[in-house]
Copies of this chain bind each other. A is one copy, B any other.
Amino acid sequence: MRLFFRQVRPYYGLLLDHTASRRGVLANANVEVVSVSATPPRDVGLLEAIATTRAIRRYTDDPVPVGDLEQILWHAGRAPSGSNRQPFRFLVLRDGANAEAAKAVLGRAFRSGWATKRAGDGYRPSRFADSMQHYVDHFEATPVVILVCLERYRDVSPYEGASVYPACQNLLLAARALGYGGALTMWHLGVEDELRAMLQVPATVALSACITLGVPAGRHGPVKRKPLDEVVFDGRWGDRPTWITT
């Protein structure tokens, strides 16, 4: 027997309206403002955030201030890695000539990647397809693009991601905590050689992921996933757990 304690989250409504408040609309008047600071609200619950962090592909024109970006990257780096070697590197593309040139190359790759996938997988017009089309069409306007890299210290391996993708997930969750949203993508691999040359990325470094970040034009919320008993086995491959109730 265990005890359940009542949750107190009086500012929950505010958090959901964080995007709006960033744009100058203070949506919730039942709020006690105790200071003006670069530090935004931080009271989203852990499980709630894990359950409702969506891939966000539509962004407002709002920038991601470097103070927030620093917080997001700092939290990304708290992720575990093999022997705590921390081989992850975050190559940030914001503005400036280099970053804009790289975003243009990436934009091309994303449009081409989505066009191929859209045709190949036979996507019909849908909210998802529209969202993807908008994402790639406006790629260059993405406030922040982060190439998450891995400094390899061993041979290339299908398991090397264990030391870089946990940091990607931390990055996306930390962005969520600060009112942003993002998507983890792989279409940068279509222009990998060109990117490496432009950004002077050494051959020993993997370009493991391309994460886009910005203030969500929409909202976070529940995600669509398979029923849990389709992805969990108990004691042996293929043995369905008897204890799953959801």
Residues in chain A within 8 A of chain B (CB atoms):
1-11, 14, 21-22, 26, 31-53, 55, 66-67, 69-71, 73-75, 77-80, 82-84, 86, 88-94, 96, 98-99, 117, 121, 149, 156-162, 164-166, 168-170, 172-174, 176-177, 183-184, 186, 189, 199-202, 205-206, 208-209, 223-226, 228, 231-238, 241, 243-246
The distance from the CB of A190 to the nearest CB of chain B, in whole angstroms, is 12
Can you offer 9 A-B residue contacts whose CB atoms are under 8 A?
A42-B46, A42-B47, A45-B177, A50-B173, A78-B223, A84-B224, A165-B166, A166-B172, A200-B236
- Contact assessment for B186 and A82 in the assembled complex, using a CB-CB cutoff below 8 Å: yes
Are A49 and B51 closer than 8 Å at their CB atoms?
A: no
- State how many angstroms separate the Cβ of A237 from the closest Cβ of chain B: 5
Which single residue of chain B is at the shortest CB-CB distance from A90? B232
Chain B residues contacting A98 (CB-CB under 8 Å) are 235-236
CB contacts (< 8 Å) of A47 on chain B: these are 42, 71, 75, 174, 177
CA distance A202 to B238 in the complex (A): 10
A178, closest chain B residue (CB): B47
Say whether B42 contacts A208, CB under 8 Å.
Answer: no
> Across the interface, which residues of B come within 8 angstroms of A176, CB to CB?
46
A73 near B234 (CB under 8 angstroms)?
no
B22 touches A5 (CB 8 A): no
* B-side contacts of A160, CB under 8 Å: 158, 161
Given A4-B41, A14-B5, A237-B91, decide whether A174 and B231 contact each other with a Cβ distance below 8 A: no
Residue from A4, A45, A93, A201 having most chain B Cβ neighbours under 10 A: A4
* Separation of A99 and B234 alpha carbons in the complex (Å): 8
* A38 (CB) vs chain B CBs: closest residue: B2
Given contacts A7-B43, A50-B173, A70-B243, contact A93 B235 (CB under 8 A): yes
A201 touches B166 (CB 8 A): no
Q: Are B4 and A74 in contact (CB under 8 A)?
A: no
With a 10 A CB-CB cut-off, give which of A35, A37, A67, A235 has the most chain B CB atoms: A235
